[in-house]
Amino acid sequence: MLNNFKIPKKTSFRLRSLDIFPNTILSPMDGVTDAPFRRLCRVLSGDRMGLLVSEFVPTDGDAVFCLEGHKQLKFFPEERPFGVQIFGRFPDKMAAAARKIAESLHPDYIEVNAGCPAPKVAGKGSGSGLLRDLPRLQEILHDVRAALDGCGVDMPLTLKCRIGWDSESINIMETLAIAEGEGVEMLTVHGRTRLQGYNGLADWDWIGKAAAAAKIPVIGNGDVNSVARAFDCIENYGVAGVAIGRGAMHNPWIFGQIADAWEGKPAHVITAAEALDVFKLYYGFKIEDGSTDKGAEGRLKQLAARLCKGFCLDERREARDERGEGQGPGAEDVAMQVRQALLSSSCAAELLDRAQSLKEGIAKDLVFDPDRLVNLNGAKETELKFGDQFKGR
């Protein structure tokens, strides 16, 4: 199949001395983007991803920040350029953690999180809670920058934020000005407010406004779920690149597909069989990384719940159906059965066995086409109910 995309001119950006090519980032997701998931995306992309980032690392809890006990800090040399993301509300603790991480682990950059909407984070004034207290955010950025300079590491500081707390208090332009003033060298903007949680669609007009005003690279984030959407965002909203979160859970091939399109390669149609093989690969990565079998099973199911939404009928099967030759259930039913079979497995081994039999059985007429998805919201992270923002204060 030939690619039919309008290829954007911008394919890379600079983060201090780093040339980031391609301009795609796997957006950090706590409980998802650990080293094995990042490895899965990297392998499926043919190692053609721009940046990888850790899940966010808490800094408020420890009296003295220690690296031990923060499993999110684990990364491998082949993941470079790699950033460590930290969150917290105390400037001194954030600065101390940044210093310790920079001196001991030497990531390629340190990122401050001002986007997490979870009540236990934002309600306590960190994550997106910082968007209601910009002086505190400024102090954190200032102190973290000073800590990095103080220990003599040559390391960029970046920020990831939302466009504001709620629709009445959108302050992304102020956040950008503060970030630039404090030496932040890349800003990732998730185009939702904190109150939105993951509801509705990201507001790319605000992302575009920030990108137009910025002197530093602005990375756009929110609802990028296909090659076409990624290219549209880069071309039409002036961003230096895109960060893809849930889109990578629905379609861990997305980074490779973007890179293929750039390289002018024809789009590769992923069969359901190929998609189902991913579970074995991912399981292997989890176990190699020291996960328990139960832990790996949970992650396989997490991926299955998303990925199976992309299954649809193979064109050949549709043609057979049109000619009245097709028998059996329609695509929606089959995709649902595949999903159910995987999710109801009692252990990882059973899930992998079932994936194998499905490949040769009911899933053989399915292809994987995640571009049909409009909304990436899943059951779990959809809404922050009204009032949630007051919890945990």
Ligand X SMILES: Cc1cc2nc3c(=O)[nH]c(=O)nc-3n(C[C@H](O)[C@H](O)[C@H](O)COP(=O)(O)O)c2cc1C
Q: How far is the CB of 202 from ligand X (least distance, A)?
A: 6
Which of these is catalytic: 41, 116, 161, 308? Answer: 116
Contacts of 31 (CB under 8 A, 6+ apart): 55
Report how far residue 139's alpha carbon sits from residue 204's, in angstroms, rounded to the nearest whole number.
Answer: 28
229 or 317: CB nearest ligand X:
229
For binding to ligand X (CB under 6 A), which residues are involved?
A: 27-32, 55-56, 85, 113, 115-116, 160, 190, 221-224, 244-247, 376, 381
39 or 194: CB nearest ligand X:
194
3-class secondary structure, 19: strand
**367 in Cβ contact with 311 (< 8 Å):** yes
* Cross-strand pairs, 110: 84, 157
8 or 115: CB nearest ligand X:
115
Q: Please state whether beta strands 218-221 and 51-53 pair in parallel, antiparallel, or not at all (unpaired).
A: unpaired
Rama region for 175: left / alpha / beta (φ>0; ψ in -120 to 50; rest): alpha
On the question of a cis peptide bond just before residue 58, with omega within 30 degrees of 0, the verdict is no
Q: How far is the CB of 343 from ligand X (least distance, A)?
A: 17
Indicate if 116 belongs to the active site: yes
Lookup result for tokens 């600079």: 14
Q: How far is the CB of 244 from ligand X (least distance, A)?
A: 5
Structure tokens at 248: 């990578």
352 or 389: CB nearest ligand X:
389
Q: How many C-alpha atoms does 379 have within 13 Å on its Cβ side?
A: 4
Q: How far is the CB of 24 from ligand X (least distance, A)?
A: 11
Q: How far is the CB of 87 from ligand X (least distance, A)?
A: 8
Report how far residue 12's alpha carbon sits from residue 49's, in angstroms, rounded to the nearest whole number.
Answer: 11
Q: Which residue is nearest to ligand X (CB)?
A: 245
Q: What is the DSSP string of 40-94?
A: HHHHHTTS--SEEEPPPEE-SS-SS--STT-GGG---GGG-SEEEEEE-S-HHHH
Q: Could you list the active site residues? A: 116
